A and B are shown apart, each in its own frame.
Chain A
């Protein structure tokens, strides 16, 4: 199977120009957006002329554009994304400190919605146009039609404000020793609502997708073979139909990792979850441009990585791509 390392190499290489392109776009946003970059970055009249000059120098804005680009590229590659205006800390550090919270929320949501979505999609596809199919699919559409932030909002009103079952905001109660079981229990209590709300949305999306793919797979000729060879109905479904239904949607499932950021921003905001989403919204509100652009760069790279990983997973589960080894 000598083809595999070559394909892996190609995929990784293809990601490099995308990352560079993202950096270029980021650079372009700073320099091509209307107005003086420094004014744009700090806002009109927000700081004194002295500070503006210092900033201009620190950004190397007195240099020619290509020099600026290469010094920008160099600092980005060194992990230097500038200093936040609000926090007065390196952007990289601020972002890094928020990653675990977002990973926890998105990871939990991703696992729950992928599993449930696939199961619901299969169940619906096994009896197309039946009551179980119609009900599941209508619920799935409801799931991704109801705005997540509003649903989260209602959940807060009912479970946190009225019933007091769930905390109103945050990720963990203060004063608990990190790593103790009380700490994790508290995290779990905080996680339950946002993860449930966000999962409902993605479960709906994935269930729809899986249903379509499963219907296609069930129409496959190899299903006829499996039936004609006397395999049991469940073996035909689980061993043949399901793997062949999941394979084509792996790509889309991979995309969801990146797309989930949108949902996470809203959900984090509603539930005061201290992740990248809340950080971004704050940066927007405070016009903290270094932080915003850092977020832009980081999330772009994240999406690119998610794509590469998806491609590789697809390669791993789909023998057809591995050539004639």
Chain B
């Protein structure tokens, strides 16, 4: 496995923190379409430790969700594939597991929740039955213990009206309850890592806050790892410890949440934060960085943000700065401003 980060960090002091729960590196995913191969992910890397929440942020289409689905190996189509990289979870490389081995990981060790709980729950099945199905699939409980396990799961998602929710079809529940039901399903087998793909986007502000509190609580109480995928930087500030910014299928910057909001490095991150500030002041919407994300059928050489960047230099057109990004460091940015170019960092 050629991991660019290994080479880059070889000369530095080894990371003092214990081995991470999830270590993703060099992850590249290809989607085969009629028009050709879309390079949805390119050299994506990040780490998650126990009891830590990280955020993966970026605009829609930047590969956030595809990252989650690559880790879980539940890509949209059978022709889509992870072309290279490693996904080490608690020491095991998930990409080398057999499909049945991977199935034991999904839902049990790593669970995932999604943006729109209405469409992500089976509309024809009662919520309780859907949760029971997951518990049974992983052999966590059966027979008489099953009902208790379902109730425990619902309780752990802080649902009070357990019986009613378990007996309801998804359409009979409010958006917040649906998301809690989905969280209950994810928690049913007590996973060590939870991947939450835009879990609060479809919810109103109050419910959003409650769900985020619940997630943070789970991270702290259960020492669970959390990967929160979002385009909402406000959510990041409230819940996460560290941030990874994605752009056009690549991780372009990562930092601790405080550093990130105080001193963003990559011009794209600065743009995101600037638009957030103007949003708070009420005069613009989030994606106010001009220009269009490059077409991932044929990604441009060099830096992918170059065409929208106010600081682009000659080197940006020639060499891809993200190649040298080190996801093991406390913070790093895939930008020539901070590398050899005019780098000051």
Does a CB–CB distance below 8 Å link A and B in the complex?
Answer: yes
Q: Which residues of A contact B (CB under 8 A)?
A: 127, 219-222, 224-233, 235, 239-240, 243-244, 247, 317-320, 324-325
A25 to chain B, nearest CB (A): 38
**Which residues in B have their C-beta under 8 angstroms from that of A224?**
69, 74, 114, 120
Q: Residues of A contacting B104 with CB < 8 Å?
A: 230
Main SS of the interface on chain A?
Answer: helix
B122 and A232 contacting across the interface, CB-CB below 8 Å: no
Question: B122 to A235, Cβ gap below 8 A?
Answer: no
Alpha-carbon gap, A48 to B99, bound state (A):
84
Bound-complex Cα distance A68 to B182 (A): 64
A228 touches B111 (CB 8 A): yes
Cβ proximity bits B88-123 to A, threshold 8 Å, 1 near / 0 not:
000000000001000111111001101010011111
Contact B119 A221 (CB under 8 A): yes
A320 pairs with B171, CB closer than 8 A: yes
Residues on the A chain within 8 Å of B138, using CB: 230
Contacts of A227 in B (CB 8 A): 72, 74, 106
> Residues of B at under 8 Å CB distance from A?
69, 72, 74, 76, 78, 99, 103-108, 111-112, 114, 116, 119-125, 133-134, 137-138, 169, 171-172, 182, 185-186, 189
Contacting residue for B121 out of A222, A231, A317, CB 8 A: A222
Are the CB atoms of A228 and B107 closer together than 8 Å?
A: yes
Residues of B within 8 Å of A229, CB to CB, are 106-107, 111-112, 133-134, 137, 185-186
Partner of A231, one of B78, B116, B134: B134
Of all chain B residues, the one with the shortest Cβ separation from A319 is B169
Least CB distance, A222 to chain B, in whole angstroms: 4
CB nearest neighbor in B for A317:
B124
Residue of B nearest to A324 (CB): B172
The distance from the CB of B131 to the nearest CB of chain A, in whole angstroms, is: 9
Quick one: closest B residue to A219, CB to CB? B76
Minimum Cβ distance to chain B for residue A324 (Å): 5
Q: Which residues of A contact B125 (CB under 8 A)?
A: 239-240
B137 & A230 in contact (Cβ 8 Å cutoff): yes
In the complex, the answer to whether B124 meets A319 with C-beta atoms within 8 Å is yes
Write out the residue numbers on chain B whose beta carbons fall within 8 Å of the beta carbon of A240.
122, 125
**Is there an interface contact between A228 and B112, defined as CB atoms closer than 8 Å?**
yes
B107–A230 touching, CB < 8 Å: yes
B120 touches A225 (CB 8 A): yes
Q: Which 10 pairs across A and B sit closest by C-beta, in order of nearness?
A: A230-B107, A230-B106, A229-B107, A221-B119, A319-B169, A228-B112, A222-B122, A227-B74, A221-B120, A229-B134
- Cα distance A230–B188 when bound, in Å? 12
Q: Are A239 and B123 in contact (CB under 8 A)?
A: no
